[in-house]
Amino acid sequence: MLRLYDYLPSGNGYKVRLLLSHLEIPFELVELDIVKGETRTPEFLAKNPNGKIPVLETEDGRCLPESNAILWYLAEGTPFVPADRWGRAEALRWMFFEQYSHEPYVAVARFMLMHLDEELPPEQALLLAEKQERGYAALTVMERHLAAQAWFAGGAYSIADIALYAYTHVAAEGGFDLTPFGAIRGWLARVATQPGHVAITQR
Ligand SMILES: N[C@@H](CCC(=O)N[C@@H](CS)C(=O)NCC(=O)O)C(=O)O
């Protein structure tokens, strides 16, 4: 059976849990507490030298880190990867966008608000404001795309949507107000009605 090393509140881990649910693939969930440094033990560093979840461990003991690489591995040959060359390139485009222009801001703002003290020291508050400004910029890019198209790649729900959904649907926990982002809100609702959808809180 596949084994997923994960941390329940992680959007990166949730991407994998969501796809596994869509694909109806059973897996063993091994939860590690990233706040307690459980991804930095010698045992886990042997699985991912970068010390981060999610990591997918295959039945034969191979370990694959990086959420979007795991999505690609699991989705290959399924309808969750666009069938045509352009659609696949579009999927990669949005998955790279997610990692470079979205996750470092939307997810990190959420992490700061979830895990740091309620009263942020001034330098942390400034850092949070910077993350939020850049996060809003990423949300604006998504909003423009979704104003014209229902999905991110290949004209159908795909791993590009899953990658972007993971942290966008909990953006409020990072202090983001999605009220002005009508197209994003419509897309979030469409994603949540896909067969096999599970919540980020579901084990
Ligand atoms: N690019 C990686 C990022 C993974 C990542 O940032 N994981 C965080 C949790 S969301 C983590 O494990 N942090 C623990 C640490 O760095 O010690 C991915 O997409 O999987």
Over the stretch 93-110, which tens digit does the pLDDT of each residue have? 999 999 999 999 999 999
pLDDT of 56 above 80:
yes
pTM across the whole model: 0.97
**Nearest residue (CA) to ligand 1, atom 18:** 66
> Considering only CA atoms, which residue is closest to atom 3 of ligand 1?
66
Give the pLDDT score at 119. 78
- Ligand 1 contact via 51 beta carbon (within 6 Å): yes
Ligand 1 atom with the smallest distance to the CA of 52 is: 12
pLDDT > 70? residue 19 = yes
Mutate to test the pocket of ligand 1, among 5, 53, 68 (most ligand atoms within 8 A of CB): 53
Q: Is residue 3 within 8 Å of 27, Cβ to Cβ?
A: yes
According to the model, what pLDDT value does residue 116 have?
72
Query: How far, in Å, from the CA of 54 to the mean position of ligand 1?
Result: 7
Sort 73 into a burial class: Cβ within 10 Å, 0-12 / 13-18 / 19+. middle
pLDDT at 9 over 80: yes
Ramachandran class of 47: left when φ > 0, alpha when ψ lies in -120 to 50, beta otherwise: alpha
CA of 148 to the centre of ligand 1 (A): 32
Amino acid making up residue 118? E
Q: Identify whether the C-beta of residue 55 lies closer than 8 Å to the C-beta of residue 65.
A: yes
Average pLDDT over residues 67-73: 98
Closest Cα to atom 10 of ligand 1: 10
Residue 176: is its pLDDT beyond 90? yes
Residues 93-97: contacts with CB under 8 Å, at least 24 apart: 93/153, 93/160, 94/152, 94/153, 94/160, 94/163, 94/164, 95/68, 95/71, 95/159, 95/160, 95/163, 97/138, 97/141, 97/164
What confidence tier does 117 reach under pLDDT thresholds 50, 70, 90? Answer: low
Instruction: Give the pLDDT band of residue 121 (cuts 50, 70, 90).
Output: confident
- pLDDT of 1 reads 96
Ligand 1 neighbour 158 (Cβ under 6 A): no
Mean pLDDT of 24-31: 98
Q: Angle at Cα 200 formed by Cα 196 and Cα 202, nearest 5°?
A: 70
From first CA to last CA, the distance across the chain in angstroms is 16
Ligand 1 site, residue 98, Cβ cutoff 6 A: no
Lowest mean pLDDT among 57-71, 111-125, 127-141: 111-125
Q: What is the mean pLDDT of residues 146-161?
A: 98
Question: Please, what is the angle between helix 159-168 and helix 11-22, to 10°?
Answer: 140
